[in-house]
Every structure is written in C-alpha cells, then in structure tokens.
Structure 1
C-alpha cells in the first residue's frame, strides 16, 4: 500500500492504486473530505493517483509518474493477449462467424504463433508516458485555475478530469489508431511502426489517424458517470454500515473500485466498439465509414448484442490488471524512496 502522508497534509490517504473516475474517493461523513483524485482512463485500468503526485517532497512528482508508467507497462504487457483477442472479436466477429474468447486466442496463435498474442503491445506501452503526463498536467492546470480547496466542488472535479481526458485523447488518438492497426495486422503485413505509419499515410491520408475520435470523446460521459454513481452508492452503503475495521475497509474499497470500473466499461462499451471498428477500417477501396453507418450495420447483422462483442476479455483483464499495477506501482515507489 502507498505510505500515508504526513499529518501536515490536508488530504486523506488513498487506499491503493485503483481504477476509477477522477473523483473516485467518497469521503466519510465524520472525516475531512478527501481531495485525492484519480484520472479517468476510458477503456484501460491503470490510474495515475494525483494525490500521490502532490506530496510535499522535492521532485517527487516525476517519481510518481515514473512509477505509474512502469506499472502500466507491466500491467498492459501481462494482459496484452486478452486485449488483442478483444480487438479481434470486436472487428471480425459476426453473426455468421461468432468468435468466443478461446476461439479467438486459438485463431491468433494458429495465424502467427504464441508470440503474436503481444502484437501491437509495443505502441500500447509507448503511449503510456505521454498519455498520463498530459492528463496530469491538464488536470493540475485546471485545478490551479479553479483554486485549491479542502472541499473541492463536485462539478470542478468533473470538468477538470473530463478536460484532462479529452486533451490527452486528442493528442494520443494517432497512437491509438496505430495500436489497432498493428494489433489486427497479419504476420508480415507491417515491417514495424514506421512502415505502418507510411502505409496509412499513402493509402488513407493523415485524416485516418483521427478515426474513432468522436466515439472516443462521447465514451467519456457514460464511463465517468456510471463509474461515479456505482462508486458513490457502494461507499454510501459502507458508510451506513460502519461496522468494519480498517483492513476490511481497504478491501472493500478495492472491491468497490473494481466493480465501479467494470460497470463504467459496460456502460461505454458500445462506443468503445464503434471506436475500434472505425480505427480498424482501411479505406484502400475509397470507402469512408461513419459512426452511424457502422452502428446500423452492427445492429442489422448481429442485433443489439453485437454492440457488446469482445466484452468478456475486456472484463476478464480488469482484476489481473488492477492487482499487477498495484503491486508494481507500490514496489517502484518503495525503490525510488517515495
């Protein structure tokens, strides 16, 4: 667990590194309200804990971000096979060719061997540092503009977190497109990242790097508010019971954050699916797919359940990703002396 802050600090300590919205901590009615926030990460599990980055230690912020980057690298690499299977199920599964989790894994191994399960993971790891660095900087700038408070206004946290995600995803979207193309690539299709960039530019033009931008931005809304609603509801239940000790309280928070993240991902999943399909589309033949057209095609061919293709591997990776990122993050902080 992250070490507790000094008594001079006016925010309550986080329980652990957990997924959740930017305003995930719900304060106990008998305690001073916490100003600890976490940055929402639509579709991924790792969070950068802002509360940790505000510690009163000279230069501690870069150690916190480095710890988060390393934790994200290990976590995403460990769950990469599930992520690649998810993308294939989202793009290639159809009513005539239903693809389940085991079938998807089997087909990927048959096509490219066991190592192919990690195809596209390099770019996924590469985007961690700029992604979280941008989120952190934008979030801090917004909070500075609003003014610091021991009891931050709910709307301010919502706006700061949403802007942080929006700016980050705007700048990172080209890397997301490259990740999807490399993940879906057949063996030998691309000779590395540079070749993938070149092929996209030659065939589709620069605009292709912003495929899926609209559903990506829209997905922030249902994810954030579902995550928040479930988190608040479960924490209110805990506050009313109040029969738990500290250890049970921390375990309950882990459970709460995991459940709220799963619910948030389920609420935003159709938009995540649309984003992936848009980013995967190759316009070599001149087609220009739109979000509305893809939505109509999915519902017409597969029905409403088609909007949730690939949800199983998405949910299966939540628990291991949380456990791995927590462990690696705490170890890195200890190693760096934070």
Structure 2
C-alpha cells in the first residue's frame, strides 16, 4: 500500500513557498471571529457609557425639579439633615450596644479575668457588679457617638460632593473608590476631634466603675485632676482606629451596594421600601465585618491608653509603642469575636436607620457615581 502524500499547495508546512489555502481560510475565520468579539466588546462599552450619560441626564432633570421645588432642601439645610440622620443612627445603635461594648472593653483591659469568651464575660460582669454594670458609660456613649455620627455621615456626604464637583462626574465615577475613601477619611478626622473627650470619659467609667457616677462627673473629674490634655491622650489611637474603620465602612458599603444591585439586575429606584432596607442591612453587615478587623489593633490600644494616666513625662507615642510590644499580635486582637458581633450589628443598623431617616427628612440629594442605575 503506497503512502499518501498531501498536495504541497494545501500543506501547512513552511517548506513550500506559498502559504496554504487552508491556513489562509483559517486565518480569515479567526480574524472574523476576533473582529466580531471586538465589535461586541466595543458595543457593550459604548452602551455602558451611553447608559451612564442617560443616568446623569436623569439626575440633572431631578436636580432641576428639586431646585424649582421650594420644599426640597439644599446647601446647609440638606447637609444638616444628613448630619441629623447620622447622629440618630449612631446614637441609637451605639447606645443599644453599650452592654456589648462594656464586655468587649473588659476583655481587652483584663484578659486574665475575662478569658472564657463573650457569653461567660457577660455572666462574670453581671454576677460581680449587677446587670446595671452593663450600661456603664451609656451617657458618654450616646452623646459622643451622636456628635461623631453627625460629623461622620454629614461630613462624608459633603466631602464626597466636593470631590465630585472638583473631578467631574465622569472622572469621579472612574475613581469612585478613591472618592469614597478620601471623603470618609476627612469626615472621620473632624468627627474624632469631637468624639475623643467623650470616648476617654466612657472608657474611664467602664474600666474604673467607681471613678464617677456618670458623664458629667467623669468628664469634670478628668478635667479637674488631669487637665484638658488628658482627653486627647488617646487621639492618636482613635485616629488609627476610626479613620481606617470609617474608610472601610463607607468604601466597602458603597461597593457592596453596587455589587448586590448588579447581581440582582435591579436599580435603586425600582426597589421597594423593604428591599431598600434589606439592601442597607446586607451591605452594612459586610462593611461592618471589614471595618472591625481593620480597626481592631487600634481599638485595643485605645482602651489600654485610656484606662490609666501615663507616667510623668511619658509621651503618648512611647506609651503606645510600649503597650503594643507587651501585647504582641495576638494581644492586639483580644476581644475580636465580641467586636465583630458589635461592629457588624451597629454598622448594619446605622445604615438602616440613616437611610430611613434621610427619606423621612426628604434628604435625598447628592450625586450618584456608582456604575449601577440609581
């Protein structure tokens, strides 16, 4: 039987001078397929850009209608409503979780005593000091976090709007994560200036139950005995704790909302009230877990540094370095379980309350820069 020899004209070997017809056909088919893919990709890209432009046009129409409506808040009035919604959201959630915060702080400050988990720590505190001990520091917690919430949420909306105005909507949308993180960081800095004295008072009351009978007494005693500088001994740790915490909180929340909406194929305007609440709760839990892990080491140091006053002449920085060295990596994450429960719960609750109160106050302004329809 003779061996088959292919016609060299159709061969794929490079030994023949001309490329084969088969190769030419294959190349043409591949090029056509690739052209089709490129055209489809380009078409989708153009569609997405057009869709975003339509969204922006809708927003412009809404803003124009709002401007013509004298009942629609704008400017300082609008941001005051954002601040009020944030204040109520933070005050209610932090106040309600005061017992968890008390137990979490005790675990951080006395790990040798409270070392059998959160539930056992609850029992230890109530058995030793009564159930009333779980509400220690309620006053400074509610007042402090109401003030902080006003600066945090109101400030976030304000600084986000400033960034969008400066960059332009298209550029801000392309760099929206940086916009979210930057606005959150600036807002939190000013919020911490207001929060720090009350947080110092709260921690002193929790760590030393006999220090004073409440917010006014504790605040006055620290001011009288240690001076105003004592209120800001923990300002460094509170910045290291709260700024990354708030950046993660808002940044992850915005991204989580975008991803959930994209996965469901829904727009914000199409959601019912119950669906909007469920969206805020779900994204809030995700954001809270991320924020808790990121800010845990600084939270531990904050509790430690506010427990007692430092030695004469010892700087805050040297105290922090000394504490971190003694605690080690494992020690810095003491109480992580309790804090995960606390932060995920209160973050979800804050966004839930914040969204509802914003609607009640007609505070629906602001520019959307996500890539999903509003």
Instruction: List aligned pairs for 1:322-337, cutoff 5 A.
Output: 322=347, 324-325=349-350, 328-329=353-354, 332=357
Q: 1:111 to 1:286 in 2, by over 3 A?
A: farther
Counterpart for residue 263 of structure 1: 290
TM-score, structure 2 length as denominator? 0.62
Q: 1:166 to 1:86 in 2, by over 3 A?
A: same
Kindly indicate whether residue 332 of structure 2 is the aligned counterpart of residue 307 of structure 1: yes
Counterpart for residue 277 of structure 1: 304
Q: Which runs of 5+ in 1 are unaligned?
A: 1-28, 36-54
Q: 1:64 to 1:220 in 2, by over 3 A?
A: closer
Kindly indicate whether residue 313 of structure 2 is the aligned counterpart of residue 291 of structure 1: no
Counterpart for residue 119 of structure 2: 102
Q: 1:115 to 1:213 in 2, by over 3 A?
A: same
Counterpart for residue 221 of structure 2: 199
Q: 1:287 to 1:198 in 2, by over 3 A?
A: farther
Post-superposition offset of 1:122:
0.7
Counterpart for residue 212 of structure 1: 234
Q: 1:285 to 1:194 in 2, by over 3 A?
A: farther
Aligned-residue Cα RMSD (Å) equals: 3.9
Aligned match for 1:80, one of 90, 95, 98: 98
Q: 1:210 to 1:140 in 2, by over 3 A?
A: same
Aligned length in residues: 286
What is the distance in 2 between the residues matched to 1:127 and 1:306? 27
1:280 aligns to what SS in structure 2?
coil
TM-score, structure 1 length as denominator? 0.68
Q: 1:242 to 1:229 in 2, by over 3 A?
A: same
Kindly indicate whether residue 160 of structure 2 is the aligned counterpart of residue 150 of structure 1: no
Pick 1 or 2: higher relative contact order, CA cutoff 8 A, min separation 6: 1
CA contact (8 A) 2:144 2:195 kept: yes
Q: Which runs of 5+ in 2 are unaligned?
A: 1-47, 57-70, 364-374
CA contact (8 A) 2:188 2:243 kept: no
Counterpart for residue 110 of structure 2: 92
Of structures 1 and 2, the larger Rg is shown by 2
What is the distance in 2 between the residues matched to 1:209 and 1:306? 25
Aligned match for 1:111, one of 95, 117, 128: 128
What is the distance in 1 between the residues matched to 2:146 and 2:90? 9
